Amino acid sequence: MAIDKEDLAQIAARLKEQRDELRVQIHLATMEAKEEWEELEKKWQQLEPRLAQAKDGIVETSRTVGAGLEVVAEELGAAYRRIRERLTGS
């Protein structure tokens, strides 16, 4: 699946929004959620510059790079949803 500049921008914006919302709520979280949050922050720190770099330079390698970034972004999104569920009790 080819991912273009717009797709990456949308993925990054969606993840950043989820991350920002959770950051506000994380102080109420359980220790387990806090530990998971710390691990996610490490992944985010690695992903964010790669997203920005890929967004500006997508060309022929977009399928490979995009697929890898998409997997990491999906993992982060799923983990953010798990934390949100713990925080809201849903």
Assigned token pair, 7: 């797709």
Predicted confidence at residue 60, as pLDDT, reads: 52
Domain count, the chain: 1
pLDDT, tens digit, 9 for 90 and up, residues 34-78: 888 899 999 989 988 888 777 666 655 666 777 788 888 889 999
pTM, two decimals, is 0.52
* Contacts (Cβ under 8 Å, ≥6 apart) of 73: 11, 12, 15, 47, 51
Range of the domain at 52: 5-88
SS3 content of the chain, % helix, strand, coil (to 5): 85, 0, 15
Q: Above pLDDT 90, what percent of the chain?
A: 14
Residue 76 phi, psi dihedral angles, 5° rounding: -65, -45
- Report the C-alpha gap between 18 and 11 in whole angstroms: 11
Predicted confidence at residue 42, as pLDDT, reads: 93
Q: Is the pLDDT of residue 4 over 60?
A: yes
